Amino acid sequence: MTRKPKPTPKPELGSEERGRFAYDALDRTIHERARLGIMASLAAHADGLLFPDLRRLCNLTDGNLNRHLQVLQEAGLVEVLKEGQGRTSQSTSRLTRRGRAELAAYVEALERVVQDAAAARQALDGAHVAQRSASPRPGWST
């Protein structure tokens, strides 16, 4: 059996590092969409939010909000203060110092995603201008 030479990678790939688009800095605890909403709500209300207000802002059910708050508390990102007992009890949630720091790091990683997308769009626009009169590549459905 003859060994065929492997296809050479495209030039631009050689300059890109492994995991360039792995986005490891997007912490999964915060990245989950409902939890991201909770974190953003609490960031916008430094004094904390009562449970019903947080539920309303994030459009979550009691059960979902409780479950996600539990995850965020266990990760040390959110603290919950319970006041009163029984029917008159209230629980107020707010970000911990660590929660604020990790949200800031997360948002920094998000900014990179936004920048990557903007750069890709700009490159695509440039390519469209350059290839406007070129024939379409065969084999693609669109």
Binding site for a copy of itself (CB under 8 A): 4, 7, 9-10, 12-13, 16, 18-24, 26, 28, 31, 33, 36-38, 40-41, 43-47, 50, 53, 56-60, 79, 81, 83, 88, 90, 94, 96-97, 100, 103-104, 107, 110-111, 113-114, 116-121, 123-124, 127, 137, 139-142
Integer Cα distance of 10 and 30 in angstroms: 35
Q: Measured from the CB atom, is 46 or 133 closer to a copy of itself?
A: 46
CB 100 within 8 A of CB 70: no
Shortest distance in whole angstroms from residue 71 CB to a copy of itself: 16
CB 94 within 8 A of CB 42: yes
Q: Measured from the CB atom, is 62 or 104 closer to a copy of itself?
A: 104
Compute the half-sphere exposure of residue 132: CA atoms within 13 Å on the CB side of its CA.
4
Shortest distance in whole angstroms from residue 58 CB to a copy of itself: 5
Integer Cα distance of 61 and 27 in angstroms: 24
